[in-house]
Structure 1
């Protein structure tokens, strides 16, 4: 470890990073106010609402802002960076900054296999797994060791999940580099009392951070056209299924952690864009959060009897492997086999907890094929709903 007292006292990257007044003193992590933007299920354009532009000054410094931290001023574009979750990591890769990523908060939930379908796009998986902040207990020592220019994560998450103090956040900000991020994958945590962002609003903020507005705009254009094309082909609303989204990693699941599709978190974006309804609506069952760790069993699921069940935590499996393990177990289970979704074989992998713009293209394509195979092709078939080469070109800076 290099997080020694000597290294902590040495000159650091803070010499070329300055901070807006909102970051100084007790206001460093004060809960910010501001309206939470509306997000609809019918318009992809709402995900690309302009969230502010990079501001250039005469000295070539520039600013980027995002709640809860506020405005940061940079003298140069950050080169070394780390994200807590795969969604923000994916944003960095989309902006052509994958080579500068030194680690990840949880490598097991950062699904990089989709990059294999994008010519020329890859990340250093071995390095990310070696520098797993989660495996290191999110300790301050690993932040010193990696010595990044910026930490793309919500500092309030560190305080509420990992027992950091505001003083700890201030220490790493001053001695290593600032934080820039907002926990957006769900909207059910009471401690998150400041503005949320949609996926593309957060993506635009990260584009500000890295000075990559053109790449962002190219992605937003591709995304909007992709979603609009899919939505024009969806069945009428009355013919669309309701979906129960749950989490359980076992191949022989007995209980599940529920998620609510209507909380507008980015991890459910594809389901809203695909026009499905939340099977838990009106049940009184709340989604998984910091304070609510409730579970549901097959008896509860039978009372709901959803049209489709989406099960998270099986993303290392192929569609066929999932059917041969999890679905096969449910088909033999004395209660699970009574579920309509099980009888109709409409139990699928439920997508990533953390998704960025590249992930979202793949997950939306997969979700469309899971739900509407007669329209969009089979989940594990050969039909492609977006141009892989075009995505790779944008990442490479070829607009």
Structure 2
């Protein structure tokens, strides 16, 4: 098995000067809470860098540089990585946003990497055939596929591998030493007990990835576009007491009966658009906890009726259009004996709930869609052609016109 392969001679992996020992030392330190610990820095979901992290140095092709991110700690590169892989679609989207899509060799789960948004961006695309052929999740996240893909950097949290896929710290060290380093932090939710080290907002994580690839100018262009877009949207929001409360749940069936709940008070990046759009959590005060590694509880329509949310957002239907969702899921709920009693169902306020993993490009689209779902009288119907941000500007940044 190649899992036990070692490399005796120098390879392009030699750009990682500090090797596995220092990188793994950072990993252990992060787990012990020495890099921010369980305390979260002061950040905003709508902004980029808020002063809680330092912008790392601009990189060039031949100048060694370092990136520091919990849980791994400091990783030093001697050249910009060319081949890379992400576990989730959020980090994959970051790479694409930075103009590095051609170097992506695979992904942890291709089924949850939604690339159709790129169809609206002139000249932006990814090779889905290649990505789907190298699905780490389908390969069981085995070390073997890490050797086979032979990437320069792995954009994923190694503690996710330890806690979700039964890797040992030794397995992590082996891949760092023999293949390439890990840079990433599992930040889409903040409810897992094992994640006792620092979290990052979407744009804080994006800035780290930009430093990995030496693409600070593209990052700054995205940050400026994002901040202006969010400010423009928030300026048009109704007063807080006129905004709806939202129940965010997961159920993959077109005829759902049981739902995994999410809590909007969790500041994970998968809820970013809902925080930026100023909605409140329909489960506040209910005693119901959100989905996590250790909490897999579900709720039914009877429980929903006790809360009777203004709006229901349902995840796991991102391959459907808005109309297809209404013709299947919402139609089923309207004829269900209990679901039909829900105010959100009666008023047709049941929508697709967005991705679990989102990067900077995807977030622009999801925020636009969320604004139209929640406030159609302000931003236009979600089925309309109204656009809230400039697609060509996004495409230009990806292309390098910053």
* TM-score, normalisation: structure 2: 0.95
Q: Is 1:54 aligned to 2:56, yes or no?
A: yes
Secondary structure, counterpart of 1:224 in structure 2 = helix
Q: Quick one: which of 255, 258, 261 aligns to 1:252?
A: 255
Count of aligned residue pairs for this structure pair: 396
2:13 matched to which residue of 1?
14
Contact 2:26 2:74 in 1 (8 A): no
Residue 314 of structure 1 contacts residue 322 of structure 1 at CA under 8 Å; is this kept in 2? yes
Superposition pairs of residues 1-399 of structure 1, within 5 angstroms = 3=2, 11-19=10-18, 23=22, 28-30=27-29, 31=31, 32-34=34-36, 35-40=39-44, 44-45=46-47, 49=51, 51-55=53-57, 60-399=63-402
CA distances 1:345-376 after superposition (whole Å, capped 9, x unpaired): 00000000000000000000000000001100
Give the Cα–Cα distance (whole angstroms) in 2 for the partners of residues 21 and 140 of structure 1: 16
1:380 Cα deviation after fit: 1.4
Asked if the contact 1:28/1:170 (under 8 Å) is kept, the reply is no
Q: How far is the alpha carbon of 1:53 from its aligned partner?
A: 2.7
The answer to whether the 8 Å contact 1:39/1:264 transfers is no
For residues 291-314 of structure 1, the C-alpha deviation after alignment (integer angstroms, 9 at most, x for no partner) is 000000001000000000000000
Q: Distance in 1 between matches of 2:352 and 2:109?
A: 20
Calculate the TM-score normalised by the size of structure 1: 0.95
1:189-216, Cα deviation, whole Å (9 max, x unpaired): 0000110000000000111111110000
Cα distance between partner residues in 2 of 1:21 and 1:175: 9
Q: CA RMSD in A?
A: 1.9
Structure 2 CA distance for partners of 1:265 and 1:4, relative to 1, 3 Å = closer
Give ranges in structure 2 of 5+ residues lacking alignment: none
SS at match of 1:311: strand
Asked if the contact 2:43–2:50 (Cα under 8 Å) also holds between the matched residues in 1, the reply is no
Distance 1:48 1:100, change over 3 A: farther
Distance of aligned partners of 1:217 and 1:48 in 2 relative to their CA distance in 1, 3 Å threshold:
farther
Give yes or no for contact 2:163–2:194 (8 Å, CA) kept in 1. Answer: yes
1:162-205 CA-partner distances (Å, limit 9, x unpaired): 00000000000000000000000000000001100000000001
Tell me how far apart the structure 2 counterparts of residues 56 and 359 of structure 1 sit (CA, whole Å). Answer: 26
| Whole-Å separation in 2 of the counterparts to 1:81 and 1:339 | 46
User: 1:45 aligns to what SS in structure 2?
Assistant: coil
Task: Report the Cα offset of residue 72 of structure 1.
Answer: 0.9
Query: What CA distance in whole angstroms lies between the structure 2 residues aligned with 1:255 and 1:191?
Result: 27
Q: CA separation in 1, counterparts of 2:389 and 2:99?
A: 19
Deviations 1:16-66 (A, max 9, x none): 21228982565543313314123446xx23665563233369971111111
Q: Which moved more, 1:269-278 or 1:30-39?
A: 30-39
Consecutive unaligned residues of structure 1, counting only runs of 5 or more, are none
Inter-partner Cα distance in structure 2 for 1:190 and 1:136: 26
Secondary structure of 2:265's match?
A: helix
Q: How far, CA to CA, are the matches of 1:85 and 1:27 in structure 2?
A: 22
In structure 2, what is the Cα distance between the partners aligned to 1:134 and 1:89?
Answer: 14
